[in-house]
Each structure stands twice: as structure tokens, then as C-alpha cells.
Chains A and B, each alone.
Chain A
Amino acid sequence: EVQLVQSGAEVKKPGESLKISCKGSGYSFTSYWIGWVRQMPGKGLEWMGIIYPGDSDTRYSPSFQGQVTISADKSISTAYLQWSSLKASDTAMYYCARPPVPAAQDAFDIWGQGTMVTVSS
């Protein structure tokens, strides 16, 4: 079964760093782009960026460029989303997602379960 399994909920203080993960299984991890999507409480979906684990080619939404870092470790089939200094406004649910077609930046048909990040002093 093709799955994306995300790391658990996090509670952090402003200024702290954080790295959340998304582990792929049941498919060739290096052959599919993986995207990250933010959903702030009660709000809509926002595309953050996307990475191709095969060569670590990474693209960011202009809204998130410089605010987060997307990476991947293909040896353990895991993609990451990290912050160097969290803000309260980073409080949100974060989803990773994968398109159905290898090597294509397509719509996302496989989604992780989401990681809730809460930033509060």
C-alpha cells in the first residue's frame, strides 16, 4: 500500500527550531515529487513547496521562500519541512502529498495524515 506517514504533533515556543517529517512507503520514493501544504486553523489550503527526492530539486511558493526549508533523505524515504525560528503564525496543520505520476508535478492523490504544529509562549 502506498502511504505517506507524517511525524506527530508538536508544541513549540516562538524562536525555537523544528523539523517535521513525511515517510513514504510502498513505492519508489525517489521517483515522485513530494509537496507540502499548510492549513492554518479554520482556513484554506496553501501550497508551500515541492521536492523531487531523486535529485533534491526543490521549488518554493514565493510566500514561503526563505521562511522554511524543504529537504529529503532518500536513504530512509523521508521528506522534511523545517523552520529555524518559529513564530506564532506558523501554528497550523501541515500536510505532505504526492502526485500519482512519477517525475511529474501533478495534482496530489496521496496525502499524509497531517502534522499539527502549535507555536505558543
Chain B
Amino acid sequence: EIVLTQSPATLSLSPGERATLSCRASQSVSSYLAWYQQKPGQAPRLLIYDASNRATGIPARFSGSGSGTDFTLTISSLEPEDFAVYYCQQRSNFYTFGQGTKLEIK
């Protein structure tokens, strides 16, 4: 089973700052990596698929990069509604999720 490790576990930033979230896979997943945002009481929301493609309706401040085992989700300038938990997910070998990064207001 492919293990995804996200870092940091918690990220404390202020609105307007840049956020960089990491996801590392235990073996190569090629570009088959997605990022989701989840707010309390809500289902996850797809942000990025295949490492760098924004899903429909996702603002341009969200971007993804990486391939193989190392991936990054960048939020260029944080809006108040961006504070949430973020998960990466691979689909190279079945599916697995990372453990999540909580993005909180500093």
C-alpha cells in the first residue's frame, strides 16, 4: 500500500500570506495525485487533480506541483475561507489519502 505523508500537520498563517503544503509518497505515484479541502461538517472538495490541474471552479490562487514522490499545494494569498484541512490522495495503486494538514489562522 502506498503511504502518503503530509507536512506540516498544522500550519498557522495570516490572511494574505502564502501557504505551502507538502505531500510525500512512499513510492512513485507518477502524477496521479489530488488535493482536497475539507471544512468542518462538510464533504471534501476536490481542488487539484493529476498533480497540477485545477478542478472546475477552483480559484487560481490554488496551484499544485510535483511528480513521482514529492508534491506541493500552494495557496498564493490566503483568503479567510481557505482555512481548513487539506488532504492529498494518490490513485496510482488503488487509492490512499494522506493524514491531512490543518491550515489555521495565526
* Identity of the chain B residue whose Cβ is nearest the Cβ of A105 in the assembled complex: B91
Residues of B contacting A80 in the complex (Cβ-Cβ under 8 angstroms) = none
B11 in the interface (beta carbon within 8 A): no
A103–B97 CA distance with the chains assembled, in angstroms: 21
B1 in the interface (beta carbon within 8 A): yes
B74 in the interface (beta carbon within 8 A): no
Band of interface residues on B = 20 to 34
Q: Which residues 10-44 of B have a CB within 8 angstroms of A?
A: 34, 36, 38, 43-44
A61 in the interface (beta carbon within 8 A): yes
A11 in the interface (beta carbon within 8 A): no
Residues of B contacting A112 in the complex (Cβ-Cβ under 8 angstroms) = 43
B55 in the interface (beta carbon within 8 A): yes
Residues of A contacting B36 in the complex (Cβ-Cβ under 8 angstroms) = 45
Chain A positions 88 through 121: 1 when the CB is less than 8 Å from some CB of chain B, otherwise 0 = 0000000101001000011111011110000000
A26 in the interface (beta carbon within 8 A): no
A59–B65 CA distance with the chains assembled, in angstroms: 29
| Apart from the given pairs A46-B97, A107-B34, A107-B46, 20 other A-B contacts in the complex at a CB distance below 8 Å | A37-B44, A44-B87, A44-B97, A44-B99, A44-B100, A45-B87, A45-B89, A45-B100, A47-B89, A47-B94, A47-B97, A61-B95, A61-B96, A105-B95, A107-B55, A107-B89, A109-B46, A109-B56, A111-B43, A111-B45
Q: Hey, which bits of chain B sit against chain A, CB under 8 A?
A: 1, 34, 36, 38, 43-46, 49-50, 55-56, 85, 87, 89, 91, 94-100
